[in-house]
Every structure is written in C-alpha cells, then in structure tokens.
Amino acid sequence: MTLSTLQRSIKPLIDNELIIESAIGESTGGRRPALYDINPEGPYIVGIDISRSYTRFVITNLNLSTIYAEKALPISSPQQTITAICDTLKETLNDLSISKSDILGIGVGTVGPLDREKGIILNPTNFASKEWVNIPIKDIIERDLGIPTFIDNGANSAVLVEHLFGIGKKYGNMSYFNCGMGIRTGVISSDKLIRTSSDSEDSFGHMIIDMDGEKCSCGNYGCVECYCSTLQIIRKFRSKAKAGRSFASSKPPEEIDYIDICNMAEKGDELSREIMTDSAAIFGLALTNYINILKPELVILSGPLFRYSQLYYDVATSAANKRLRFKDKDNPVFRRGGKFQINSISLGAAAMVFEELLNQ
Ligand SMILES: [Zn+2]
C-alpha cells in the first residue's frame, strides 16, 4: 500500500475516533513513523451470548480491554428472552450514562444453523422451548434498540476472540469447543475463520463413532453427541441409578443434575466416575479423528461439560494424546477454557462487530 492510499484508508477511522496515534516508532532512515492503535476510549460495543441453557451480555470497548457491564439472564421462549435482554441492556446503558449513539454495534453469538446475512436463527436443536425456529433476531434487536446488529454462531465468536485477543494469538490453526447440552466447534485455519454451509457448528457432535450406536437427535445412529453431552450424562446416570446402582447423594435420581454428578465423581463416587470417564474416553476418541483432519496447534475445551469437571478434561485429553500418531512436538496444546472463560462467546460477538464494520 502506498503512503497516500494508507492515509486515505485510515482517515475515516481517525475522523470517527476509532483509532488514535499511540506512539512514534523507530526511524528506518527517514522521518520517524506514527504508530496507531485502537482507541480504548472510543465507542462501546455490546456482545450477546444466546446459548441453549443461558444468555449473557457484555458492554465493552473496542479493544475489549474494559468490561463496563456483564449480565447473565435465564433463557425461555424467544420473545421473552430477547425482550428481557433488550430491556436489561437499556437499563444498564442508562445506569452507566451511555447513550445508544455511543454504541458502535451489537454482536450476537448464538446456536446454528443460521442465516447470517439476514440475521435469522433457523432451527437449532435442544433448546428447552420449541419456539426457537426462524427467529429474525437481528431485526428484532435493531427495531427495539436502533443499533446495528450482527449475528454469528457462538463457537465462531469464541474462537475469533481467543485468536485475536486471547490465548490463541500465536496460533494460526486452532479449534474452540463449547460443550454442554450440545457440542459446538469453531475453527481457525491458516489465520482464517472456517465457515460451513448454514453457519452450523455441530459437525463434531454428529461425527459417527459407532455404526450400531444409539439414535441421535439428527436421525443418525452413534453420533458423538449421543454419548458426550450434559444431557446424555444425566440421562445415563438417572437410568443406572433407577436400575439399582448406588450413588453418594441423598437426592432422588431424578433430581441429580450434571454438577452433582461432577462433584460426586471428584469425590470418588463409583457410578459418577464410571459415567464421566466412559463419556470422556469417547470424546477423546472423536477428538483424535478431528485433530487428524484439521491439525490444530491449539485446542480449547470449554463449556459446562469441561468447566465443572477436571476429570472429564483429563480423561478426554489423555485419550486423545494416547492415540495421536504425530511426534509429541506436533501434537496440539490442550487448554481447559480460554482467556475469556465464560465471556468467550459474548466478548467474541463484540469483537465480531468491529471485524464486520471494518470489512464493510
Ligand atoms: Zn447426530
């Protein structure tokens, strides 16, 4: 780029106070160059995470260095959920004395498949409410708040933010897994976000690992998700407990939730450990197949499945490491959760706003 083209390109960014002169660089012979950086005092961005079992939002600045507010809200029907997010966001902006005109945009990281261009959530599986079908979320939020809104799937948002600002900065090839009621994956390959048709992110979860296996919600048999989700772990625990297996809790089996199972497993309860380790070993096997195809240098395993269980993480990663056929130095680095932990998707959705606007 010639100097005059560069100056023309960055002028709108300077005029809109999106970037500022931050320092004067070393001379390479001529005049010392001015260095520019994202303006941390500039406009705000909002990132919203709509996952299957919770929603969260953050209000942050352009380089994500400050989180001015973060809120978690329950999820129910689309209408109630989106209204609650918009109302709480308005209240929070009011409390912080931030006007809507100071918000550059809103990013939503959610569950695919999506029509990303039109901003529509199509027909995701495993939401408790069956009403999450064809939801024009971009239009609904823009109508209510009057702020430009962009959507992407949450796994893409999370892998993007960890790559640009988090623990994946030095890796050109990395994968992010968000595992809970389902499994969502985001992939950066050669520094680029890999998109799939319909922006779905569930290909890992529907990898078939047992031809004669259990029936999956997708209609196939023996998918990874049949064995490796919080829902399946709870289902298996309750069924074995009801069949007479003892376990270390006074709660009836139908009240045992995933966190109870994790806690019991960590304390040595035999039934909980058996169910968690069986599931994690299957996850590790599928992870080996996935790593052999994509060859990521970094694999971030996050979401409730891993967040609440060190045991699950240890068994899954050691099962994968045992089978990976590369030399040790070529095996990926595994991490339990990224830099941004529970805010990965919401902050990623915020980072996506800046990326989208830059690319317009
Ligand atoms: Zn499936």
Percent over 90 (pLDDT), the chain: 76
Length of the chain: 360
Mean pLDDT, residues 236-247: 95
Query: Which amino acid would we find at residue 188?
Result: I
209 CA from centroid of ligand 1 (Å): 10
Kindly indicate the confidence band of residue 140, based on its pLDDT and cuts at 50, 70 and 90. Answer: very high
Dist. CA 207 → ligand 1 center (Å): 7
- Taking the centre of ligand 1 as the mean of its atom positions, its distance from the CA of residue 291, in whole angstroms, is 19
Q: What is the pLDDT of residue 220?
A: 94
How many whole angstroms separate alpha carbon 42 and alpha carbon 35?
17
Query: What is the 261 CA–ligand 1 centroid distance (Å)?
Result: 24
CA 246 from centre of chain = 36
pLDDT at residue 311, rounded to an integer: 97
Q: Give residue 349 CA to ligand 1 midpoint distance, Å.
A: 27
200 vs 263: which has the higher pLDDT: 263
Average pLDDT over residues 153-160: 94
153: CA distance to ligand 1 center in Å?
A: 18
Alpha-carbon span 70 to 57, nearest angstrom: 6
Query: For residue 223, how far is its CA from the centre of ligand 1 (angstroms)?
Result: 5
For the cut 90, the answer to whether the pLDDT of residue 360 exceeds it is no
Instruction: Give the helix/strand (H/E) hosting 250.
Output: none
**Taking a C-beta distance cutoff of 8 angstroms, is the pair 99, 90 a contact?**
no
Q: Tell me which range, 26-35, 115-124, 194-203, is most confidently predicted by mean pLDDT.
A: 115-124
Q: pLDDT band at 325, cuts 50/70/90?
A: confident
C-alpha to C-alpha distances, 116 to 107, 127, 281, nearest whole angstrom: 12, 19, 35
CA atoms within 13 A on the CB side of 326: 17
Q: Chain-wide mean pLDDT for the chain? A: 93
| Cα 263 to Cα 316: distance, rounded to the nearest angstrom | 18
Q: Which stretch of 25-29, 235-239, 253-257 has the lowest confidence by average pLDDT?
A: 25-29
Distance 312 CA to ligand 1 centre (A): 21
DSSP 196-230: -GGG---TTTT-B--TT-PBPTTS-BSBGGGTSSH
Query: What is the reported pLDDT for 354?
Result: 84
CA of 290 to the centre of ligand 1 (A): 16
The SS3 of residue 69 is strand
Nearest-angstrom CA–CA distance, 70 and 59: 7
The pLDDT tens digits of the residues spanning 56-85 come to 999 999 989 999 999 999 999 999 999 999
Higher pLDDT, 262 or 30: 262
Residue type, 297: E
Tokens 């909980």 identify what position? 272
How do residues 338-347 score in pLDDT, each as one tens digit? 999 999 999 9
Q: What's the pLDDT at 357?
A: 83
Contact 64, 76 (CB under 8 A): no
Domains and CATH numbers, the chain: 3-38 (no CATH), 44-160+343-359 (3.30.420.40), 170-338 (3.30.420.40)
Distance 219 CA to ligand 1 centre (A): 6
The pTM of this model reads 0.88
Q: Is the pLDDT of residue 242 over 90?
A: yes
